[in-house]
């Protein structure tokens, strides 16, 4: 008697990319929140938190990208798995916008956040959530189709 739920789990690779992708999502979203708090309080500490969160998100996003590329290359031979080009291009855009945002946030005072920094943080937050939601959905559908 075989359990059909255990077969796809046994064949699936460990989702290290998904684990690492959680960090940029949290960091970039947190930077948007700290930008909002900075605009409302005008305490420079919050702008400093934003640049640190953006930097951490860039570092972890780079790590997630390297692992994601490696996992994609390792799973090339698996039937039924198609690459998530939308996910890859979307996350490359997220990292590029975040790098620009880091340079904007490296300015002094009010101009580090208002208006360009908070706008970029908002765009990046929406993009990183949307792109990773769609990428995870894409992968889960493929794995569910592979289980049949």
Q: At what angle are helices 85-105 and 116-147 packed, to 10 degrees?
A: 160
pLDDT for the residue 14: 62
Which contacts of 134-138 are long-range, i.e. CB under 8 A and separated by 24 or more positions?
134/86, 134/87, 134/90, 135/84, 135/86, 135/87, 135/90, 135/91, 136/18, 138/84, 138/86, 138/87
Instruction: Quickly state the pLDDT bin for 8 (edges 50, 70, 90).
Output: very low
Q: Report pLDDT digits (tens) over 46-68.
A: 999 999 999 999 999 999 999 99
87-141 pLDDT, tens per residue? 999 999 999 999 999 999 999 889 999 999 999 999 999 999 999 999 888 878 8
Q: Give yes or no for residue 1 having a pLDDT over 90.
A: no
**Residue of 128, 89, 119 lying closest to 101 (CA atoms):** 119
* 12 pLDDT above the threshold of 80: no
pTM for this predicted structure = 0.86
């Amino acid at each position: 008697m075989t359990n059909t739920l255990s077969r796809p789990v046994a064949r699936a690779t460990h989702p290290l990319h998904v684990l690492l992708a959680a960090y940029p999502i949290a960091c970039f979203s947190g930077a948007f929140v700290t930008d909002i708090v900075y605009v409302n309080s005008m305490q420079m500490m919050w702008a400093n938190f934003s640049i640190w969160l953006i930097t951490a998100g860039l570092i972890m996003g780079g790590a997630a990208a390297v692992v994601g590329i490696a996992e994609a290359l390792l799973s090339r031979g698996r039937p039924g798995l198609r690459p998530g080009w939308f996910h890859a291009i979307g996350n490359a855009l997220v990292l590029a916008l975040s790098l620009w945002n880091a340079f904007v946030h490296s300015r002094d005072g009010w101009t580090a956040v208002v208006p360009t920094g908070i706008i970029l943080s908002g765009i990046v937050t929406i993009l990183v959530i949307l792109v990773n939601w769609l990428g995870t959905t894409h992968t889960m559908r493929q794995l569910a189709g592979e289980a049949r």
